[in-house]
Amino acid sequence: MRFSFAIIMRVLGIDPGTMVTGYGVVDDINGKLSHVTHGTIEGKRKDSFPDRLKLIFDGLNKVIEEYKPDYIALEGVFYGKSVKSAIKVGEARGIAILCAASADIPMAEYAPTVVKRAVVGVGSAKKGQVGEMVKVILALSEVPEKYDASDALAIAICHCHRSKSVI
């Protein structure tokens, strides 16, 4: 008698930003990746910085509650911008880390070049290339409208690929 067991892993990828935070949920079922959902949490310029952080916190907690990921994958710090920008993005990352810790969900961080290499094969890939490969890998009918969402899906895909090499 032969039994087959499905190994399912649900990953929430997060591309943190203070104006726009992207999220994407991917299921890995025995190595086959499938799209669950994606979107953005967007603040307004007129919103105070604390209000934008609260919006991110509330939005990510809602996604976590609704989709119940097994893992959360987060983009690491990108140093190419100004110090002020890096600090603000770091604060948004802190909110995402807090959401993962509060929900007792294991978290991993990946450098942007690692994500691009995992999805496109080249660490210097452009955002459009990442979006196109996300579309192909997840068999989407079109590239997600916002780069933040396609980047979040790419982060989730990266975690699915990388976790296999660790297990």
> What is the Cα–Cα distance from 154 to 146, expressed in whole angstroms?
13
DSSP β-ladder status, 107-110 and 8-15: unpaired
Report whether 163 contacts 39 (CB < 8 A): no
Tokens for 115? Answer: 């994500």
Query: Is 66 an active-site residue?
Result: no
Of 65, 75, 132, 151, the active-site residue reads 75
Report whether 73 contacts 12 (CB < 8 A): yes
Query: Is 15 an active-site residue?
Result: yes
Q: At what angle do helices 147-166 and 112-119 cross, to 10 degrees?
A: 80
Of 15, 27, 28, 151, the active-site residue reads 15
Helical spans, DSSP H, in 82-125: 83-102, 112-119
Of 27, 28, 148, 151, the active-site residue reads 148
Catalytic residues: 15, 75, 148
